[in-house]
Amino acid sequence: MDGCFWHGCPIHYVRPRSRTEFWSAKLLENVTRDCRQTRELEKAGWSIIRIWEHELFTSLATVVTTIKNAIDGQCHKPQDDFRVYRVDDIDRQWRF
């Protein structure tokens, strides 16, 4: 379960206006770790299901079905375009 703030949800993440360099580095660290851990676990034979925090509220039935299918042995791959893979720092002109 990836928290929308901590893992850079493309729908809900809002960059804090203060300490932007800290938060950009923190988010990049989280996303890099997510990618690394997912690849390592898949390489070891695990099936990984990554679910956004908001999906529990917007599509709970789909989340439950996805988990049930994984338990039943049906492989699930997250959509590549649904994960954040890169974080760019905002331009200095926009910093507060």
Q: What pLDDT tens digit does each residue of the chain (96 aa) get?
A: 888 888 888 888 888 888 888 988 888 888 888 888 888 988 898 888 888 899 999 999 999 998 898 888 776 565 554 455 555 555 544 443
Please check whether residue 38 lies inside any domain of the structure.
yes
Please check whether residue 88 lies inside any domain of the structure.
yes
Closest CA to 51 of 36, 33, 41, 66: 66
In this predicted model, what pLDDT tens digit does every residue of 70-89 receive, in sequence order? 888 776 565 554 455 555 55
Please check whether residue 42 lies inside any domain of the structure.
yes
Please check whether residue 6 lies inside any domain of the structure.
no
* Cβ atoms 54, 11 nearer than 8 A: yes
Domain count along the chain:
1
pTM of the model: 0.68
Annotate the chain with DSSP letters as a single string: -B-TTTTT-TTT----SSSHHHHHHHHHHHHHHHHHHHHHHHHTT------BTTHHHH-HHHHHHHHHHHHTT------GGGS-----PPPGGG--
User: Containing domain of residue 76, as a range?
Assistant: 20-94
Please check whether residue 9 lies inside any domain of the structure.
no
Other beta carbons within 10 Å of 46: 10
